[in-house]
Amino acid sequence: MRAASLGPAIEVEGLVKVYPGGTRAVDGIDVAVGRGEFFAFLGPNGAGKTTTIRILTTLLRPTAGRARVLGLDVTERPGEVRRRIGFAMQTVALEGLATGRENLELMGRLHRVPGPDLRRRVDELLELMGLTAVSGKLAGTYSGGMRRRLDLATALVHRPDVLFLDEPTEGLDPQSRAALWQELARINREGTTMLLTTHYMEEADQLCPRLAIIDEGRIVVSGAPAELKRGIGADKVTIQLEAAEGEMTTRQDAVARLLDGFSPLQGLERTDEGVRLAVVDAATTVPDLLRRLDGDGIGVRALTMQHPSLDDVFLRYTGRHIRDEAADRPLEIGW
Amino acid sequence: MLAFARETWYLGLRTLRRFLRVPANPISTVIFPLIQLVGFSQLFRDIIQLPGFAGQTSYLAYLAPGQIAFTVFLAVSWSGSNLLYDYRNGYLDKLRAAPIRRYSILAGELVPLGLECAAMAGVILLVSIALGASVATGFVGAVLILVLCAAFGVAWSGTSFLPALLTKNEQATGTLSILFFPLAFMSTAFVPVRLMPDWLQVLNAVNPISYVIEAARALMTTGYDWGAIGAAVVAIVLVGVVLQGATLLAFRRLTN
């Protein structure tokens, strides 16, 4: 962590954004991200992540509250903020009729990267993103993954201190996504503070030592992913029972009776094929659990254990799953 | 100011590339004036025998300035669509998040547009010369004609930028380009004002393109008619102040 004494890279206090139509997209967000951190806003579509990141990147004015990036107020000193940040937006924005190299050079020029330095930097980024071979081709001919990588590179030409990423892997296939994750982790290791928004739990989980879960314009909980999951307390153990036709209910009853008073058990739920248990520390309890079932002559066809996921965390705090909400906002139509 | 010029330069290069890398852009701009230039100069060859054409020796020479000026209408008819495209696909936001003056973005559209107008009008001018027209004022006069065309093009492009920015609708971007037809065909491009009925003469007096055509025609057929050139400059400035002034406000609103 460099220059911690300079204060956080991003500070948000009581941030509110109400759109002209009355939609309260951001409803009082407070958050601080330290220099060099890789922080995520995790939440479903429409949670207010994009609105927040657009305020932080000076594209939107907040209705209330304040936001500072590198100590600079985003509404009072937008010019200085813009010089020191990079922003990879949700929609890839490239000039399709310019080559990959030209796209990078233009953004470098606009950020006043001096000529010789720019050449070196562009070569370096093309190499880093695996685009050297296609750098002379029009960006409009690139594949989705290549376009994403080029877009990310355009946000990095001027070596920003803080990089904002709005759903950076949206629409990518699993391989491209994993490759981009590695790239992002590397950029962060080199000292860039990163703020990422995503609705992919794995993404936040893999990349970010700390995150905030956002829903309906508010932060519902924040912390380290491992800590948040530990807070859920129990692992999930799913058991498929051996049962003749029509006997499943009696089998499930038998399991419920048998485990009554079994101290690690926190919950029992019936499924079509057996039961799902919430168990503290499944890895050490399952052998004992199986012995008990076996001792009572209850046949087990299959058993799976699962640690809590960030989705379970989301569920705990909001009562919904992250992906329940495919709340795709309607397209904006002209007029 | 220097920063503004710098940003306009780099953004302008991008705009020019966009224009030149789609061959349909220049081709579709010059094809209509070319057809008229070649076709009408033959079709109405003997029209100059009418008394109103006093002093003209060939209809081609009379017709050419009008066709050169018309090229500009076609060059700017969809000019607002670039900006609208950038607005839609997020590129405008990307530029807004960059440390540049926002009016550089608009200037980065308008400056190359002027160059495109001059270049396309220049093509028609060269073809006219190849067909037998000449420029009485020589090279300097020819450059002056193209400068007038560029300036008129930038001013007139408000008819595309304004609906584009106000409606954010691609179709609206070219809607006002049909103004080309009444303005062009009721101008002095085809016949001198003396041959027009009274009501057309009245309309012609407020038709900005006629002033540009008259200035260009003087430069091609007679000489430096500063009265005509001055009138053209005034017409261009009036159109520019009204249309581009409104465009600037609409752009400000869009990027706020």
For residues B212-244, one letter each, b for 16 or more C-beta atoms within 10 angstroms of the residue's C-beta and e for the rest, the string is: bbbbbbbbbbeeebeebbebbbebbeebbeebb
CA–CA distances in Å: residue A106 to residues A123, A180, A265, B11: 14, 23, 61, 8
**Chain A closest CA to B149's CA: distance in Å?**
27
Secondary structure of residue B227 in the 3-state scheme: helix
**Amino acid identity, position A232:** I
| Ranges of H-type helices in chain A | 49-56, 78-84, 100-110, 115-128, 144-154, 174-189, 201-207, 225-232, 248-259, 282-295, 310-318
Q: Distance (Å, rounded) from C-alpha B190 to C-alpha B209?
A: 12
DSSP bridge pairs for A87: A164
pLDDT at A107 over 90: yes
pLDDT at B256 over 70: yes
Per-residue pLDDT band for A5 (boundaries 50, 70, 90) equals: low
Per-residue pLDDT band for A333 (boundaries 50, 70, 90) equals: very low
Closest partner residue to A335 (CB to CB) among B94, B99, B167 is: B167
From chain A, the residues in CB contact with B97 under 8 A are 57-59, 82, 85, 87
Span A135-159, average pLDDT: 95
pLDDT in tens, B99-126: 999 999 999 999 999 999 999 999 999 9
Per-residue pLDDT band for A326 (boundaries 50, 70, 90) equals: very low
pTM value is 0.86
Closest partner residue to B14 (CB to CB) among A58, A98, A112 is: A98
B27 Cβ neighbours under 8 A, 6+ residues apart: none
**Amino acid identity, position B84:** L
pLDDT in tens, A186-200: 999 999 999 999 998
Q: Distance (Å, rounded) from C-alpha A145 to C-alpha A128?
A: 14
Q: In what order do the strands lie in the sheet with A193-198?
A: A85-88, A162-166, A193-198, A38-42, A210-215, A218-223
Per-residue pLDDT band for A323 (boundaries 50, 70, 90) equals: low
Secondary structure of residue A67 in the 3-state scheme: strand
The angle, 0 to 180 degrees and rounded to 10, between the axes of the packed helices B208-217 and B59-76 is 130
pLDDT at A175: 87
A18 Cβ neighbours under 8 A, 6+ residues apart: A24, A25, A63
From chain A, the residues in CB contact with B89 under 8 A are 91, 93
Closest partner residue to A93 (CB to CB) among B13, B94, B169 is: B94
pLDDT at A324 over 80: no
| Residue from B21, B94, B101 whose CB has the most chain A CBs within 10 Å, to mutate | B94
pLDDT at B250 over 60: yes
The answer to whether A147 and A141 have CB atoms below 8 angstroms apart is no
CB contact under 8 A, B99 and A110: yes
The answer to whether A44 and A199 have CB atoms below 8 angstroms apart is yes
CB contact under 8 A, A91 and B168: no
Closest partner residue to A110 (CB to CB) among B10, B90, B170 is: B10
CB contact under 8 A, B96 and A59: yes
pLDDT at A332 over 50: no
Output DSSP code: residue B220.
I
Contacts 24+ apart (CB under 8 A), B17-26: B17/A97, B17/A98, B17/A102, B18/A95, B18/A97, B18/A98, B18/B82, B19/B112, B19/B116, B21/A97, B21/A138, B22/A97, B26/B116, B26/B119, B26/B120, B26/B123
pLDDT at B12: 97
CA–CA distances in Å: residue B32 to residues B36, B37, B68, B174, B196: 6, 9, 11, 16, 24
Q: Distance (Å, rounded) from C-alpha A224 to C-alpha A210?
A: 4
Find the residue in A nearest to B18 (Cα).
Answer: A97
Tokens 């008990």 sit on residue:
A292
Looking at every residue in chain A, the average pLDDT score rounds to 89
Span B212-232, average pLDDT: 96
Per-residue pLDDT band for A266 (boundaries 50, 70, 90) equals: confident
Find the residue in A nearest to B102 (Cα).
Answer: A79
Here the tokens at position B81 are 């669509």
Secondary structure of residue A218 in the 3-state scheme: strand
Q: Tell me the torsion sign for CA atoms A45, A48, A49, A50.
A: positive
pLDDT at B73: 94
- Which residue would you say has higher pLDDT here, A4 or B20? B20
Here the tokens at position B17 are 């590339």
Find the residue in A nearest to B100 (Cα).
Answer: A110
From chain B, the residues in CB contact with A163 under 8 A are none
The answer to whether B144 and B219 have CB atoms below 8 angstroms apart is yes
Secondary structure of residue A41 in the 3-state scheme: strand
User: How many CA atoms does the CB half-sphere of A125 hold within 13 Å?
Assistant: 28
pLDDT at A328: 44
The answer to whether B118 and B150 have CB atoms below 8 angstroms apart is yes
pLDDT at A334: 41
Closest partner residue to B93 (CB to CB) among A83, A89, A106 is: A89
ipTM: 0.91
- Which residue would you say has higher pLDDT here, B170 or B149? B149
Q: Are strands A24-33 and A10-18 parallel, antiparallel or unpaired?
A: antiparallel
pLDDT in tens, A80-94: 999 999 999 999 999
Tokens 């050079």 sit on residue:
A105
Tokens 């399952």 sit on residue:
A286
